[in-house]
Amino acid sequence: MNYKIAVIPGDGIGPEIVKEAKKVLIEIGEKFGHSFDFTEVLLGGASIDVHGVPLTDEAITTARNNDAVLMGSIGGNTATSPWYKLPPEKRPEAGLLKLRKSLNLFANLRPAVLYNELKGACPLKDEIIGDGFDMMIMRELTGGLYFGERKTVEEDGVMTAYDSLTYNENEIRRIAKRGFDIAMKRGKKVTSVDKANVLDSSRLWRKVVDEVAKEYPEVSYEHMLVDNCAMQLVKDPKQFDVILTENMFGDILSDEASMVTGSIGMLASASLNDTKFGLYEPSHGSAPDIAGMDVANPIATILSAAMMLRYSFDLDKEADLIEAAVKEVLKAGYRTGDILSEGKTKVGTKEMGTLIVDMIKKG
């Protein structure tokens, strides 16, 4: 089968890490008889340099006309790059926000995985982490507090600010369905996180999640209050499979979960709309401090490509093989600088990509 992928190399380390992910996809294509057509799209600083804007209308159309988007990361050094002398709406990040909005990406997926081989990077105690953990935070991305009505008023010399947190049942239903769908492809467990003891929006969230859960009898699910979830993530992260939550809670919990893994260069992410289409990118930024030095860890981007195969193309076997190859390469002792520990073999970006490709060939 043929799949069309829009590729956004982006800025900083973006082009280097995307190149390695493409190498992996090409190998998967050869092994399983698929072909991947890659069309390059400019976004962020790279687009500003060529077109004067961080995202053109043509770039949006190209992204839309593909089956999925694979992205590196965008942005430069915010203190020194000339891109940040531009007004906010012309800066690199504005292009990414516009692209996400244009593509209707409402579901954000951030896996937080602690590999047995990288346990040393985890700030938690050994008895808590056991053999590692593997959870997926599913965050609603287009509603809630960040998109509600807001205002600041002054009355009798006192300033008061308002931000409203609004969700309608359709917005909740579509993200909940996505969460349960994802759980069906994983450990079949959903923890829906809210603050239903205080917020009306959370009580509606709970009611709709209860309704959606009935359509997925194979998935076990529970509700958890967000403050408890924040504690449980450091007390017993192994208990989680899919954490399903609204925008702000997801923003905070996904950062907490990623810090618990201790390895920013390993964390993939995806943003999905209500079709099979998705945008796949590492959780980290463009790391301008190490750009062009062949030291960046390409694994987060390679694992994002694996997510693309699993969630946009339903190629689960192929995704499994990439994830297994990453684990095997780590087991064999190879590390980029960011995850290096004593006694391990240091490799660069390209070599890490090649090692994973070779492992896929063997697998």
The one catalytic residue in 119, 146, 163, 338 is: 146
- Decide if 195 is catalytic: yes
Nearest of 290, 298, 295, 343 to residue 325 by alpha carbon: 298
For 114, the 3-state DSSP assignment is strand
Contacts of 186 (CB under 8 A, 6+ apart): 136, 241, 242
Stretch (H or E) spanning 157: none
Q: Is 285 a known ligand-binding residue? A: yes
11 and 43 Cβ atoms separated by less than 8 Å: no
The answer on whether 183 is annotated among ligand-binding residues is: no
Rounded to the nearest whole angstrom, what is the least distance from the CB of residue 302 to ligand NAD in the complex? 11
Pairing of strands 334-335, 158-163: unpaired
Spatial contact of 180 and 216, defined as CB atoms under 8 Å apart: yes
Report which secondary-structure segment, H or E, holds 53: none
Instruction: Look up 101 and say whether it is catalytic.
Output: no
Q: Which is nearer to ligand NAD, 135 or 287 (CB)?
A: 287
Residue 274 bears catalytic tag: no
Using CB under 6 A as the criterion, what x/- string covers residues 90-129 for binding ligand NAD? ---x--x---------------------------------
Among 37, 49, 289, 316, binds ligand NAD (CB under 6 A): 289
Q: Is 296 annotated as a binding residue?
A: yes
* Nearest distance from C-beta of residue 190 to ligand NAD, angstroms: 26
Contact residue for ligand NAD among 7, 18, 60, 74 (CB under 6 A): 74
AA identity, residue 317: K
**Which tokens in the block code for residue 241?**
């499979």
Choose which of 78, 168, 275, 341 interacts with ligand NAD (CB under 6 A): 78
Q: Which of residues 321-350 bind ligand NAD (CB under 6 A)?
A: 338
In angstroms, the CA 339 to CA 262 distance is: 9
First vs last C-alpha separation in the chain: 21
131 to each of 125, 151, 230, 237, 243, how far by Cα in Å?
Answer: 12, 48, 21, 11, 20
Q: For residues 332 and 320, is the Cβ–Cβ distance under 8 A?
A: no
Q: Which of 15, 250, 285, 353 binds ligand NAD (CB under 6 A)?
A: 285
352 is in an annotated binding site: no
CB of 202 to ligand NAD, least distance (A): 28
Binding residue for ligand NAD, selected from 142, 192, 254, 297, defined by CB under 6 A = 297
Binding-site residue numbers for Mg(2+) are 227, 251, 255
Binding region for ligand NAD (CB under 6 A): 13, 73-76, 78, 93, 96, 264-265, 281, 284-290, 296-297, 300, 338
Q: Which residues are catalytic?
A: 146, 195, 227, 251, 255
